[in-house]
Amino acid sequence: MKKTFTLIITAALLSAAFAVAQNLDMVVRLFDAYQENRLTAQKIRYEFAAFNFGKKLPAPPEARKISPQDGMTQFYVPAGEFLMGRENAKGTSGPAHKVYLDAFWIDRVEVSNAMYLKCMAAGGCAALASDNTRYQNWIYRDHPVVYVTWEQAKIYCEWAGRSLPTEAQWEKAGRGTDGRLYPWGNEEPSPALANFAGTGIHEAVSVYRYPLGASPYGALNMAGNAREWVADWFDAEYYNNSPYQNPQGAQSGFERSLRSGSYNEDGREILITKRYNHEPGSAGLSRGFRCAENEAPR
C-alpha cells in the first residue's frame, strides 16, 4: 500500500513538473506579475482559460496531414463558394461578396519560433531582426515567430513546400462557409476563445492554445495572438472588383495585406473579415504568418 501511494505521488509530481516545463512562458508571466504587484485571481483565470481544460472542442477537421519539412499539421479546406468580406463594414473590409476557391490545405497554427529555427538550421531562412530577443529562447519555442518581413515569411513557406495563403484562402480557412464573424462563430471574444486585449496578457502566447477558438476547419488563433502576412498586395478597393474564382489580390502595390489582428486589438478589431496592411519590408513586434498549400490536381 505504501509503495503504491509513493508511486502515485511520484507520478503526480513528475506530471506537474512536465506541465510546468512545457508552459514556462506562462510561469514567467505570472511570476513577473507577482513581482510587479499585478497578479490577480482574474489574471490567473485568464491565463488558464487559454487551455480550455475539460471542455468540448470543435468538430475535427475533414482531413489532415503532416508536413515532412517542418512538422506542421495541415488541415484540408474543400473546394467551393464562401462569403468574403462583411456587408456595411467600415473601411476596407467590405462589401461582402461570393468567392469560389479550389481546395487547399491550411496550417493548423501560426509558424512557431521552433519551426523557423529549423529553416535557419537548414540554411533556408535568414536570422531575424535583433529586436526579436525571444525566438532562440527555448521557453518561447512554441510562440509565433514575429519580427518577420513579408519576404521572410514567403521564403519560409517556400522552403517548407508551401506558400503564403491568399487573402481569400486565409478568410475561408478562418470563417468557413456560413458567414460567421469570428473563427468560432458569432459569439463575442472571450479569454477562452482568443488572445486579444481583453485577456490582459499583452503578448503572444503558444500557437497551440485557445483550441475552443478554432476555425470550422480546425485552424487555431485566426483571431488575435499575432497578425499574419498573406500573399496579396493590399488594395483598399479590391473587393469592389474582385474576381469570383480564386482571387489573387491586386497585381501591384506598396503594402501587403495582413489578417487576424493581434493580442493588443479589441474584440471588433479581430473580426475574421478585418483587413490590415503594412510595408512588406517592415518587421514588427506582432507580425507573424502561417502557410497554405494548394491541393494537387487529381
Domains of the chain by range and CATH?
Answer: 24-294 (3.90.1580.10)
Rg, the chain, Cα only: 20
Q: Residue 7: what are its φ and ψ, rounded to 5°?
A: -65, -40
Q: Residue 32: what are its φ and ψ, rounded to 5°?
A: -60, -40
pLDDT, one tens digit per residue, over 13-30 is 444 444 556 788 988 898
- Predicted structure pTM score: 0.93
Mean pLDDT of the 262-288 span: 95
pLDDT, one tens digit per residue, over 132-163 is 999 999 999 999 999 999 999 999 999 999 99
Rounded to an integer, what is the distance from CA 121 to the centroid of its chain? 23
Set of cell numbers at residue 116:
523557423
Q: What is the pLDDT of residue 23?
A: 82
pLDDT, one tens digit per residue, over 47-101 is 999 988 666 667 778 899 999 999 999 999 999 999 999 988 778 999 999 999 9
Residue 8 near residue 189 (C-beta atoms within 8 A):
no
Contacts 24+ apart (CB under 8 A), 40-43: 42/200, 43/200
